[in-house]
Amino acid sequence: MAWRKLSTIFMACALVALAAGYGAGSSKTSLPTGVELATGGPLLEYFQATHPGQEAIVYSRADVNNDQGVDLVVIFRAGKENNAMLAVLGFPGSYQCTNEVPAPVSDQVIQFKDIDDKPPLEFIVQGRKGTNYGYAIYRVEGTNLEDLFGEGMKDCC
């Protein structure tokens, strides 16, 4: 009987946590679907053209510079033991990459979150290198990625 009650409580907590996660990091722009989502679309093609030979590992879309267009945050392999991250900004008729910053080596996650309730949209990057975990909060200012706050990123990048 106690096992059944514990199991029911666990399932209820899991459902609440799952429901709370939906929309928590959602962006305010519509995301591409179908083939463009699977292939990365023109923003990823621009990244590949400007960074030949550097494999995109994780990427995610949102309007990170508040221009009402979709941008792409890319974590990519910068070397054998290190990764980097940048944002590809989509402007009318052109694209531009921000500066590169160090990124986690494994288990990378990009989550968009409006932390200060004003534009532009911030994003959280987390991951690890070996047993070292870290995270950082970034914002795009103009065409630069700004590190607002983080912990442990020096050890996981």
Q: Which residue has the tokens 């960074």?
A: 51
What DSSP state is assigned to residue 117? S
- Confidence band of 126 (pLDDT split at 50, 70, 90): very high
Extract long-range pairs of 124-128: CB within 8 Å, 24+ residues apart: 124/25, 125/73, 125/75, 125/85, 127/75, 127/103, 127/156, 128/104, 128/156
List, in sequence order, every residue forming a beta bridge with 66; answer none if it has no partner. Answer: none
**pLDDT tens track for 107-121:** 999 999 999 999 999
Overall pTM surpassing 0.85 (yes/no): no
Find the length of the chain. Answer: 157
Short-list 78, 40, 41, 77, CA closest to 59: 40
**pLDDT tens track for 77-101:** 999 889 999 999 999 999 999 999 9
